[in-house]
Amino acid sequence: MQNKKHFITCDKCGKDFEVNKIKPEILQVKFRAINADIYYFVCPKCLTVFPITIIDELGNKYIEQLKNLSRKFLALKGSGEELKLAKLIDSMDRKQRQIKNNTEKLKTIFDGEFIAKKVGGEIQVQFFSKK
Ligand SMILES: [Zn+2]
């Protein structure tokens, strides 16, 4: 896998900082009996946290299912099995919607603030729920 780095500009302090889009930071959070991974970037200057996405066990299961469907699709591509391919496209669309809906649901559950602080040179992030 490529280790691509990009720069983003902090909305709050205007600093440009390097982020790894393929491997963002991950915060594991447990709230209301749901274990979730929150993917985020954090500004090294002002410590503002920028959450990217949130995934739980169900979301990971859907992602695995989507990967399987696309593997099947690629294996069948060009075989002339148009009906099977059309069905796979439908299934992949449905799976993508499920992933999106699940993430939206998680965003409403994990509604709160992310606060970063420096602990011994390392940036640590904590989640504080509004509810
Ligand atoms: Zn900043």
Q: Residue 11 Cα, ligand 1 centroid: separation in angstroms?
A: 7
| Tens of each residue's pLDDT in the chain, 131 residues | 455 678 889 999 999 998 877 778 898 988 888 899 999 999 999 999 998 899 999 999 999 999 999 999 999 999 999 999 999 999 999 999 999 999 999 999 888 899 999 998 888 999 998 87
DSSP string, 38-53: EEEEE-TTT--EEEEE
The predicted model scores a pTM of 0.77
Q: Residue 44 Cα, ligand 1 centroid: separation in angstroms?
A: 7
**pLDDT the model gives residue 116:** 93
Domain parsing of the chain, residue ranges: 6-129
Euclidean distance between CA atoms 49 and 30, whole angstroms = 18
